Structure 1
Amino acid sequence: MRSMASTLLTPNQINSIMKRREFIQSSSLAAVGMLTLPSFLMKKEKKGQIGLQLYTLRSTIGQDPKGVLKKVSEFGYKNLETYGYGDGKIFGMGFKEFNDYVKSLGMKVTSGHYGLDMIKGDKWKKAVDDAKANGQKFMVVPYINEDQRKTIDDYKRIIADLNAAGEVCNAAGIRFGYHNHAFEFDTVDGQIPYDVMLKELDPKNVGMEMDIFWVVNAGRDPLKYFEQYPGRFEQWHVKDMDKSDKNRNANIGSGTIDWKPIFAKAKQSGLKHFYVEQESYPGEPINSVEEGAKYLKTIL
């Protein structure tokens, strides 16, 4: 048995032990805190992955696609979602040429929008093949024309087409999706079309790209949908709502939508990518694109 004298510690030793205990305790608390964050926010490499739907710059990108893309890259965008693809071309460029230029700027095309008229037959196979060849991971239908959605049976026919198009994408290793507006939340034949879509679209074939602005515009709560259908909302459109006119966009961070609690539920949503998109602007579209990136960098 050791003598009591041999177990006595000097003041310096006691101070060292106390500091070590404080370090261990603070480290443990930090680790617990990290576990409560969505994985989307925990990964440093994800912080910079701000995306842009190029439709935001539709007034200029067709005239000077390379110049517009270069400016977008300078704002810090990393992921792009395209629109306007047709028969192997986009914005007057070959699809491969376009993708190669995007990559040379340190960005990548992660998703693209394709009309309902494209999701069958050879047109769809060509689009899917081009997306796969260029490393694109998502393909999305963004809109249903008014004359195509008069009844719930109309929606159900479209749902069947979407499920079939998703099977083609799955075979190529691409994720297919559907993007909402506000009209899917209007009552049709006593039902809410968006809810019907969530129930009848096969999650194995079709994911959802939630346009958060349009969900809020329709008087719905995005967080409730995340809770009811966890993991289904793999991509988002991020655009803010004007304080005086709910049908107009504000620059992100200056409107009425509180983005912090929404991004806090990214993991529950199933989020893989999000894209800044604006359809109306307080000034020049390119300035809104810059302001959107600046704001998002402050909350991610």
Structure 2
Amino acid sequence: MSPLAVQLYSVREQAAVDRRAVLRRIAEIGYGAVEPYDPHVDPVGLAADLEEAGLTVCSVHGPLLDERRASVLAAAAVIGADTVIVPMAPAEWFADLGGLELAARSINEAAVEAADHGLRLGYHNHWWELEQQVDGRPALEVLAELLAPEVLLEVDVYWAATGGVDPSALLTRLGERVRYLHVKDGPATKEGPMTAVGAGSVPIVNALTTAPDAVRIVELDHCATDMVEALADSHAYLTGLIAAGRVSP
């Protein structure tokens, strides 16, 4: 069982003031892992702060499709990650098949270099990969077929719902390629503030039961309430689901 994790983009403002304190608080809440979004900025310092807090790294986001790729891959090794995730690709790449082929080439190229460093590589979606369709299908699903088999997927259930797709149905169609889930909640709109997991309109339970083996990472891009309190409430909700037997550990 993988520990519940937090995407550190959620606490970017708090970490800018006192990263060590924020990481300690995440651990106190009960999270066991984090997903950094900028590991190449200060990998040595981040590794030390994570060790002090007793947190592991489940994966990392970083700019893997440009000239910063090498620094992200090197940083991943320093902080003990085995998986790097492309956080997004330009929305225009998902407008037609030609754009998807460009996206696939770019991501597959990054995956080869990641493998040379002993790392797996994945792709994380926003809403535009689902909202836009190619040949009558959500563009993300077409992209998945163009990606090399070793490229995994990190499905953001909130952005999937925002893009007009049922998250559970999407997870079913994508199957075992989905190794990570971004678990977030709120009104499922592009601009509206998010909420603690369990307090919004996203069908969280259905998504978790559809992909029971995927690593669960809580991320709230911005929040209607205090962010740290929302992370604590999210942890309580998710662990409550597990305790009640509604989702698997």
TM-score (norm 2): 0.86
User: Residues 190 and 184 from structure 1, CA distance in 2 versus in 1: closer, same or farther, beyond 3 angstroms?
Assistant: same
In structure 2, what is the Cα distance between the partners aligned to 1:84 and 1:238? 20
User: Aligned letter for 2:117?
Assistant: A
- Counterpart contact for 2:93–2:102, Cα < 8 Å: no
CA displacement at 1:212 relative to structure 2: 0.3
CA displacement at 1:67 relative to structure 2: 1.4
- Counterpart contact for 2:181–2:217, Cα < 8 Å: yes
SS at match of 2:202: coil
In structure 2, what is the Cα distance between the partners aligned to 1:164 and 1:245? 30
In structure 2, what is the Cα distance between the partners aligned to 1:129 and 1:244? 36
The partner residue of 1:72 within 22, 26, 29 is: 26
The partner residue of 2:49 within 101, 126, 132 is: 101
CA-to-aligned-CA distance 1:191-225 (integer Å, 9 cap, x gap) = 53212211101121x11100000111122122222
- Counterpart contact for 1:99–1:108, Cα < 8 Å: no
2:180 maps to 235
Aligned residues: 241
The partner residue of 2:223 within 277, 281, 287 is: 281
2:144 maps to 198
SS at match of 1:178: strand
- Counterpart contact for 1:240–1:250, Cα < 8 Å: yes
- Counterpart contact for 1:83–1:114, Cα < 8 Å: yes
TM-score (norm 1): 0.73
User: Aligned letter for 2:50?
Assistant: V
CA displacement at 1:114 relative to structure 2: 1.1
CA-to-aligned-CA distance 1:141-197 (integer Å, 9 cap, x gap) = 112234665543233212101011111222322110110011012335655321221
- Counterpart contact for 1:82–1:112, Cα < 8 Å: yes
1:30 maps to none
Stretches of structure 2 lacking an aligned partner (at least 5 in a row): 243-249
CA-to-aligned-CA distance 1:24-65 (integer Å, 9 cap, x gap) = xxxxxxxxxxxxxxxxxxx5xx4xx11000111122212211
The partner residue of 1:110 within 52, 55, 58 is: 58
1:155 aligns with 2:103: no
User: Aligned letter for 2:225?
Assistant: G
CA displacement at 1:290 relative to structure 2: 1.4
1:227-266 equivalences in 2 (<5 Å): 227-242=172-187, 247-266=192-211
1:1-300 equivalences in 2 (<5 Å): 43=1, 46=2, 49-86=3-40, 89-90=41-42, 95-118=43-66, 123-146=68-91, 151-187=96-132, 190=135, 192-204=138-150, 206-242=151-187, 247-267=192-212, 270-271=213-214, 273-300=215-242
- Shifted more, 190-199 versus 175-184: the winner is 190-199
- The CA RMSD measured in Å over matched residues stands at 2.4
- Counterpart contact for 2:6–2:217, Cα < 8 Å: yes
SS at match of 2:15: coil
In structure 1, what is the Cα distance between the partners aligned to 2:98 and 2:216? 31
In structure 1, what is the Cα distance between the partners aligned to 2:74 and 2:47? 14
CA-to-aligned-CA distance 1:64-98 (integer Å, 9 cap, x gap) = 11111111111111110011233xx33xxxx1231
In structure 2, what is the Cα distance between the partners aligned to 1:188 and 1:266? 23
SS at match of 2:34: strand
Bigger Cα Rg: 1
Q: Taking every aligned residue pair, what percent have the same amino acid on both sides?
A: 22
In structure 1, what is the Cα distance between the partners aligned to 2:5 and 2:114? 22
In structure 2, what is the Cα distance between the partners aligned to 1:181 and 1:143? 7
User: Aligned letter for 2:87?
Assistant: P
In structure 2, what is the Cα distance between the partners aligned to 1:109 and 1:80? 5
Stretches of structure 1 lacking an aligned partner (at least 5 in a row): 1-42
CA displacement at 1:286 relative to structure 2: 1.5
- Shifted more, 164-173 versus 245-254: the winner is 245-254
